[in-house]
């Protein structure tokens, strides 16, 4: 998540749970904007409504059982977990990972894994509980991973089956962005001085990735952010409304998009026994040919499609062709709190052949200006993306475990 850690803030964390199972309320109408003359409407406020008289699919349950490989645990009580299970049952979600929000570097919270594990492990077949990495002190000279590895082994013994979500948005794993841990001004509390962590292929992380392999734990690692966040924020930027909200072009000293991806692949190559699941299609939604090349060269490399439905459904034929070829390495994921609306929207994109529909304010307020299209994926591809690829990633990770 990272740039969306606003969802994890105290107070904000529980808010979505109350609304689960219902369509989120639309933003309150802003009369002033709604009545502006057309030549004064700003692009960021543009909310077209499709006029086409065409089929609208409403899919409550996925066509095949689903495993969600990118879910941030939001529940803090057993009752809230019960409520998550109800939504999962209604939407056909067989199981989900549960990222515990343990954090990295200065945001690491000792005990966060254990607290979450207590309530989520009541449903051992429904949740794969993940832990984070204790990267405390990563910015100090001479840092060594001994404490990180000891804590990883401890959480594994206590029930953790995977590691994530980890992040490198340019300041390395265990680092923090200028302006706060998530990179947004003021996000996550008072601004703090940036901390330089380690990029995925840094030698300081070698022993950690090897330990993940030894323990049979897949690593869910998010690097970079959408491409248009790095581009000049002007009228030529194809993803301007999204790119501007999460802009990175004004963050001096961070590692750039291409270099982050190169570093990630180098780590996967250096640690062939470690299974990496790249969050958000490795932020290569705009260049799926490059992602295909990375899959081709690295059998231990998977990617989740979470929070990249809007970006890929606007190129439906290219995305469907990509998934027909590489669906066995792409896993389903969501990234925002469970709701029926969330699942129905993602199923509509993956399963239906619907055309020209909008849902601009739902998914992280992404606000892309383009309409969405269903990918109409065939059954064999849906089965892989929904279910089989996740099982194969877990199985591959377990097959590399020692002892």
Mention every residue, 6+ apart, whose C-beta is less than 8 A from residue 336. 4, 7, 16, 72, 307, 342, 363, 364
Q: Based on the shown chain and the rule CB under 5 A, indicate whether residue 69 belongs to the binding site for Zn ion.
A: no
As a whole number of angstroms, the distance between CA 28 and CA 7 comes to: 20
Q: How many residues bind Zn ion (CB under 5 A)?
A: 3
As a whole number of angstroms, the distance between CA 331 and CA 349 comes to: 15
Instruction: Go through the chain and tell me how many residues it has.
Output: 403
Q: Which helix (H) or strand (E) holds 82?
A: helix 78-91
Residues numbered 88-107 forming contacts with Zn ion, rule: CB under 5 A: none
Work out how close the CB of 291 gets to Zn ion at its nearest, in angstroms, rounded to a whole number: 18
Which of 35-43, 55-63, 115-123, 163-171 is the region at the interface with Zn ion (rule: CB under 5 A)? Answer: 163-171
Q: Interior CA angle at 42 toward 39 and 44, to 5°?
A: 155
Q: Based on the shown chain and the rule CB under 5 A, indicate whether residue 1 belongs to the binding site for Zn ion.
A: yes
Which of 40-48, 161-169, 263-271, 297-305 is the region at the interface with Zn ion (rule: CB under 5 A)? Answer: 161-169
Work out how close the CB of 193 gets to Zn ion at its nearest, in angstroms, rounded to a whole number: 25
What is the three-class DSSP state of 377?
coil
Residues numbered 334-363 forming contacts with Zn ion, rule: CB under 5 A: 335
User: How far, CA to CA in Å, does 350 sit from each of 56, 279, 346, 372, 391?
Assistant: 14, 18, 6, 11, 19
Work out how close the CB of 308 gets to Zn ion at its nearest, in angstroms, rounded to a whole number: 11
User: How far, CA to CA in Å, does 148 sit from each of 75, 135, 154, 204, 319?
Assistant: 26, 6, 10, 11, 38
Choose among 291, 290, 288: nearest CA to 277.
291
Q: Based on the shown chain and the rule CB under 5 A, indicate whether residue 68 belongs to the binding site for Zn ion.
A: no
| Binding flags for Zn ion, 234-273, as an x/- string (CB under 5 A) | ----------------------------------------
Which residue in the shown chain puts its C-beta closest to Zn ion? 1
Work out how close the CB of 334 gets to Zn ion at its nearest, in angstroms, rounded to a whole number: 9
Q: Based on the shown chain and the rule CB under 5 A, indicate whether residue 168 belongs to the binding site for Zn ion.
A: no
Cβ-based nearer residue to Zn ion, 225 or 335: 335
Q: Which residues bind Zn ion (CB under 5 A)?
A: 1, 165, 335
């Amino acid at each position: 998540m990272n740039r969306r850690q606003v969802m994890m803030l105290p107070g904000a964390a529980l808010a979505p749970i109350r609304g689960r199972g219902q369509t989120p309320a639309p933003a309150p109408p802003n009369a002033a904007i709604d009545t502006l003359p057309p030549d004064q409407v700003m692009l960021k406020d543009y909310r077209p409504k499709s006029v086409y008289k065409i089929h609208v699919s409403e899919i409550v349950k996925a066509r095949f059982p689903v495993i969600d490989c990118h879910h941030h645990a939001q529940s803090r009580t057993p009752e809230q977990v019960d409520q998550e299970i109800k939504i999962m049952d209604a939407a056909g979600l067989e199981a989900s990972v549960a990222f515990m929000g343990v954090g990295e570097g200065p945001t690491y919270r000792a005990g966060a894994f254990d607290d979450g594990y207590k309530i989520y492990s009541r449903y051992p077949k429904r949740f794969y509980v993940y832990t984070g990495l204790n990267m405390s002190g990563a910015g100090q000279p001479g840092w060594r991973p001994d404490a990180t590895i000891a804590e990883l082994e401890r959480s594994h013994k206590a029930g953790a089956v995977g590691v994530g979500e980890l992040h490198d948005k340019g300041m390395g794993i265990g680092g923090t962005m200028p302006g706060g841990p998530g990179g947004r001004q003021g996000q996550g509390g008072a601004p703090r001085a940036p901390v330089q962590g380690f990029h995925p292929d840094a030698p300081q992380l070698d022993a950690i990735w090897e330990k993940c392999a030894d323990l049979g734990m897949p690593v869910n690692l998010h690097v970079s952010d959408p491409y248009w966040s790095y581009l000049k924020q002007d009228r030529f930027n194809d993803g301007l409304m999204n790119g501007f909200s999460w802009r990175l072009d004004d963050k001096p000293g961070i590692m750039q998009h291409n270099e982050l991806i190169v570093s990630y692949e180098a780590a996967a190559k250096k640690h062939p026994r470690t299974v990496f699941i790249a969050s958000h299609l490795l932020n290569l939604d705009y260049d799926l040919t490059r992602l295909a090349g990375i899959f081709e060269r690295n059998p231990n490399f998977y990617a989740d499609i979470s929070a990249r439905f809007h970006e890929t459904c606007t190129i439906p034929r290219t995305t469907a062709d990509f998934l027909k070829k590489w669906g066995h390495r792409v896993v389903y994921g969501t990234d925002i709190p469970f709701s029926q609306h969330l699942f129905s929207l993602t199923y509509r994109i993956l399963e239906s052949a619907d055309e020209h529909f909008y849902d601009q304010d739902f998914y992280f307020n992404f606000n892309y200006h383009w309409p969405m299209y269903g990918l109409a994926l065939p059954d064999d591809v849906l089965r892989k993306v929904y279910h089989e690829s996740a099982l194969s990633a877990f199985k591959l990770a377990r097959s590399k475990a020692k002892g």
